[in-house]
């Protein structure tokens, strides 16, 4: 692979049988095989691919490509890929003829197509992983060494597929190739650098570990709802129309909002949706360890400074810090000098919380960030823990004071998982807390503007009271009468198999 996008240029002629561009997204991901390209909504036949043959052809075409680039170094990408597709077709045709002689029966068109796709994926995409990245139903790809791969689906189902490599070394080579293709040449994985974290070119998040156990482990978290706005979250049942209008007003009124919640509850999805409430001309920065917000490339925002941290090259400088490392804390200070209207931190998980809170208290409003927290009532303790991780070992009291002074609202995203009893995963906003200053205990004081309607069996957020800043929200068009709707806009409680205790 040579740093190409996961999808080929649409100007490249498709392989035979794919008049709408190739490869298309697969509807099904066959176990250990490359799926034939089929439009979504049709049943894609399962095709078993001989990856020894696929690797042999891929190696042959790679050598031909190398010779082409050597003789014609200025060849454009479309021409190069079109020539490679031609070579793939030729090689697969020769293989099919040989198989017809050997077996007495020629391979089916689906077998030919599966082999062509597999070769292309090995050359330009994610190899044997690609069918699973193409399956829009897949939420997590869990890799337990080269031979065991599990797919987690959005509805909670899990099934084993694989293998995606024939050996540990081949799996590591695949992970290194994914890092190179993601444009992060400084990131690699080996016994000397045993962890790897990055965003793939389709936006999926990869975390891998090697050399610290009996095998290499990796998880690829796919963003199944990557371009939703708040209206889409209403359609998905995560928020209702009342909360949709309230969150939109908070953004327009330039309130500082922290989104908190459990792992996989949907914090990043909500953050992306709230970014769509920014004016398209708003100049803001996104600061992340891996790009999961896609604000600079979503076609909506026009003034985005997208900053991504960088891992060290494994060496240490004179201070003992990793050479070449750029942390989120390092990015925060120069970002504040970029004439920004707002700052968005993808996830606050370390000492950068201090700089974030300083930006919230000193700069203009309208900043957004996310943080992990198991329950709404431990969010402030979680922030204090991150303050303690800072080099200065800052005090709990300072953490509480800067939080109270800097944040206007905390939005808590929850998840109820009933897949073990035949149900599904439900992701939703359960609380919106307004920060009102320091309370008697020295902790931030809050108002519950929204909370679960457990008295009538609803776990999702319903209105409870007007926030203290209601006039600011009215000035940007919010109808405060919406907060008088006791049930919100829900027409029925969340459909659960196990009811809510009242």
The count of structural domains within the chain is: 3
* CATH code: domain of residue 438: 3.40.50.300
Same domain for 30 and 123, yes or no, is yes
According to DSSP, the residues that pair with 344 across neighbouring strands are: 286, 368
Same domain for 392 and 471, yes or no, is yes
Q: Of 96, 111, 134, which one is at a domain's C-terminal end?
A: 134
The larger pLDDT score, comparing residue 165 to residue 390, is at 165
What distance in Å separates the CA atoms of residue 76 and residue 340, rounded to the nearest whole number? 37
User: Which residues are CB-contacts of 362 (< 8 A; sequence separation ≥ 6)?
Assistant: none
According to DSSP, the residues that pair with 259 across neighbouring strands are: 370, 411
319 inside domain:
no
User: Using one digit for the tens of pLDDT, what is the confidence trace for 129-176?
Assistant: 998 998 888 989 999 999 999 998 877 788 999 799 999 999 999 999
The Cα-based distances of 287 to 251, 310, 331, 342, 481 in angstroms read 18, 11, 7, 11, 36
pLDDT at 210 over 60: yes
Q: Are strands 303-308 and 425-438 parallel, antiparallel or unpaired?
A: unpaired
Q: Are 389 and 351 in contact (CB under 8 A)?
A: yes
* CATH code: domain of residue 202: 3.30.450.370
302 inside domain:
no
Domain that holds residue 155: 137-224
Same domain for 143 and 130, yes or no, is no
Same domain for 29 and 129, yes or no, is yes
Same domain for 130 and 143, yes or no, is no
Same domain for 122 and 144, yes or no, is no
Dihedral of the alpha carbons of 397, 401, 406, 407, in degrees to the nearest 10 = 80
Strand spans (E) along 357-456: 368-372, 409-417, 425-438, 444-453
Q: Of 134, 153, 188, which one is at a domain's C-terminal end?
A: 134
391 inside domain:
yes
Tell me, what DSSP letter sits at residue 456?
Answer: G
Segment 479-497 shows an average pLDDT of 95
Reported pTM: 0.74
Q: What's the chain's average pLDDT?
A: 84
Same domain for 116 and 22, yes or no, is yes
Confidence class for position 315, pLDDT limits 50, 70, 90: low
Half-sphere exposure of 390 (CA within 13 A, CB side): 23
413 inside domain:
yes
What distance in Å separates the CA atoms of residue 379 and residue 261, rounded to the nearest whole number? 9
Half-sphere exposure of 497 (CA within 13 A, CB side): 11
Tell me, what DSSP letter sits at residue 376?
Answer: G
Q: Are 31 and 161 in contact (CB under 8 A)?
A: yes
pLDDT at 487 over 90: yes
User: Which residues are CB-contacts of 311 (< 8 A; sequence separation ≥ 6)?
Assistant: 186, 187, 197, 322, 324, 325
Confidence class for position 502, pLDDT limits 50, 70, 90: low
288 inside domain:
no
Phi (first) and psi of residue 201, to 5 degrees: -70, -20
Same domain for 39 and 186, yes or no, is no
Q: In what order do the strands lie in the sheet with 425-438?
A: 303-308, 283-288, 342-345, 368-372, 257-261, 409-417, 425-438, 444-453, 458-463
- The pLDDT of residue 33: 34
Confidence class for position 319, pLDDT limits 50, 70, 90: low
Same domain for 114 and 147, yes or no, is no
Same domain for 375 and 454, yes or no, is yes
Confidence class for position 118, pLDDT limits 50, 70, 90: very high
Segment 51-66 shows an average pLDDT of 93
400 inside domain:
yes
Same domain for 127 and 83, yes or no, is yes
Same domain for 58 and 178, yes or no, is no
322 inside domain:
no
What distance in Å separates the CA atoms of residue 25 and residue 415, rounded to the nearest whole number? 29
High-pLDDT (> 90) share of the chain, %: 55
Lowest-pLDDT range of 32-46, 186-200, 263-277: 32-46
- The pLDDT of residue 469: 96
Q: Are 488 and 242 in contact (CB under 8 A)?
A: yes
Tell me, what DSSP letter sits at residue 225?
Answer: T
- The pLDDT of residue 492: 93
What distance in Å separates the CA atoms of residue 310 and residue 179, rounded to the nearest whole number? 12
């Amino acid at each position: 692979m040579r740093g190409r996008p996961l999808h080929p240029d649409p100007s490249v002629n498709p392989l035979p049988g794919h008049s709408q561009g190739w490869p298309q997204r697969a509807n099904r991901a066959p176990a250990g095989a490359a799926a034939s390209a089929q439009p979504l909504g049709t049943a894609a036949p399962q095709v078993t691919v001989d990856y020894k043959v696929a690797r042999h052809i891929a190696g042959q075409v790679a050598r031909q490509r190398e010779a082409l680039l050597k003789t014609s170094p200025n060849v454009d990408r479309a021409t190069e890929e079109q020539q490679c597709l031609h070579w793939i077709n030729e090689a697969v045709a020769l293989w099919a003829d040989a198989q017809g002689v050997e077996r007495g029966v020629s391979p089916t068109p689906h077998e030919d197509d599966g082999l062509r796709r597999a070769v292309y994926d090995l050359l330009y995409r994610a190899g044997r992983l690609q069918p699973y990245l193409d399956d829009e139903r897949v939420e997590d790809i869990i890799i337990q060494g080269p031979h065991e791969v599990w797919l987690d689906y959005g509805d909670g189902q899990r099934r084993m597929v694989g293998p995606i490599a024939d050996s540990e070394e081949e799996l590591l080579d695949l992970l290194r190739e994914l890092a190179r293709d993601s444009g992060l040449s400084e990131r690699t994985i080996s016994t000397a650098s045993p962890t790897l974290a990055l965003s793939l070119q389709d936006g999926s998040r990869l975390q891998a570990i090697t050399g610290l156990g009996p095998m290499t482990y990796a998880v690829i978290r796919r963003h199944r709802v990557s371009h939703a706005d708040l209206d889409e979250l209403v359609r998905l049942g995560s928020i209702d129309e009342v909360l949709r209008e309230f969150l939109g007003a908070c953004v327009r009124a330039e309130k500082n909002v922290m989104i908190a919640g459990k792992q996989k509850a949907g914090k990043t999805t909500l953050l992306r949706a709230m970014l769509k409430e920014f004016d398209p001309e708003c100049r803001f920065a996104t600061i992340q360890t891996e790009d999961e917000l896609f604000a600079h490339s979503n076609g909506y925002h026009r003034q985005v400074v997208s900053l991504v941290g960088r891992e060290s090259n494994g060496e240490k400088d004179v201070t003992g810090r990793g050479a070449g490392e750029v942390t989120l804390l390092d990015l925060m200070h120069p970002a504040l000098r970029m004439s920004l209207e707002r700052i968005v931190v993808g996830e606050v998980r370390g000492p950068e919380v201090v700089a974030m809170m300083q930006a919230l208290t000193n700069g203009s409003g309208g900043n957004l960030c996310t943080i992990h927290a198991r329950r709404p009532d431990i969010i402030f303790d979680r922030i204090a823990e991150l303050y303690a991780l800072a080099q200065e070992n800052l005090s709990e009291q300072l953490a509480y004071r800067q939080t109270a002074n800097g944040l206007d609202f905390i939005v808590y995203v929850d998840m109820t998982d009933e897949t073990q009893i035949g149900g599904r995963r439900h992701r939703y906003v359960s609380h919106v807390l307004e920060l009102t200053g320091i309370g008697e205990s020295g902790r931030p004081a809050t108002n519950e503007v929204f909370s679960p309607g457990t008295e009538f069996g609803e776990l999702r957020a319903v209105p409870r009271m007007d926030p203290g800043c209601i006039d600011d929200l009215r000035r940007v068009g919010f109808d405060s009468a919406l907060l008088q709707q006791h049930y919100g806009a829900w027409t029925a409680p969340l459909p659960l198999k196990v009811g809510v205790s009242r």
